[in-house]
Amino acid sequence: MLIGQLRPADFDAAVELWQEAGLTRPWNDPVADLHRAIAGPASTVLAGLEGDVLLATAMVGHDGHRGWVYYLAVRVDAQRRGHGRAMIGVCEAWLVERNVPTLNLMLRTDNETARGFYAALGYTHDDDVRVLAPARLNATPSSHSACTSRRQSRGEPPRPWLFALCDSARLGRRRA
């Protein structure tokens, strides 16, 4: 698998992969997320390709101090072959090249597969950090209420709690 920046020709396949992996939510537009990351000076979307087939993606970015990885996904038929590990490795290298000292991840608490994956890579849960989820910054009160109603009608809590899974060591110095 070769890893590089996601090509425009693969944008639709990336969004489809994210949907198949269960990473999208109705209140987040994955197409807008993708375009923001590609256009931003401190972010990108990486693609893992075999030939012209998109096997894996990862969105990586930073604020100057903290790096973040989102939308890490590997096609189901390509899992358990080291592709997820390779994608995280390239994300870490991308951040190190930009002198970003830390990498944080946000995972939904019900995503046991991802929690196990990151734990196997040496990432640990940081009990000192909590991610708080505010109302959407661009939402009007009525649109927030509609979003909350949609979540509740699907049996979801109004604001799902996320936890921060942080590598407590600096990038490049993984804990054993």
pLDDT, residue 120, reads 92
pLDDT, residue 152, reads 53
pLDDT, residue 137, reads 58
- Quote the pTM value: 0.75
pLDDT, residue 60, reads 96
Measured N-to-C along each axis, helices 11-20 and 30-39 cross at an angle, to the nearest 10 degrees, of 130
Domain boundaries, the chain: 2-166
pLDDT, residue 131, reads 72
pLDDT, residue 107, reads 84
pLDDT block averages, 10 residues each, the chain of length 176:
95 96 89 94 96 96 93 95 95 95 86 89 83 62 43 49 38 43
> How far from 77 is each of 35, 130, 145, CA to CA, in Å?
27, 34, 38
pLDDT, residue 156, reads 52
pLDDT, residue 27, reads 85
Q: How many whole angstroms separate alpha carbon 112 and alpha carbon 85?
A: 17
pLDDT, residue 169, reads 38
> How far from 40 is each of 16, 43, 47, CA to CA, in Å?
22, 6, 17
Q: Coil, helix or strand for 36?
A: helix
Q: Smallest Cα–Cα separation from 100: which of 32, 34, 44, 35?
A: 44
Q: Is the dihedral of CA 168, 94, 20, 29 positive or negative?
A: positive
- Per CATH, is 2-166 categorized as 3.40.630.30? yes
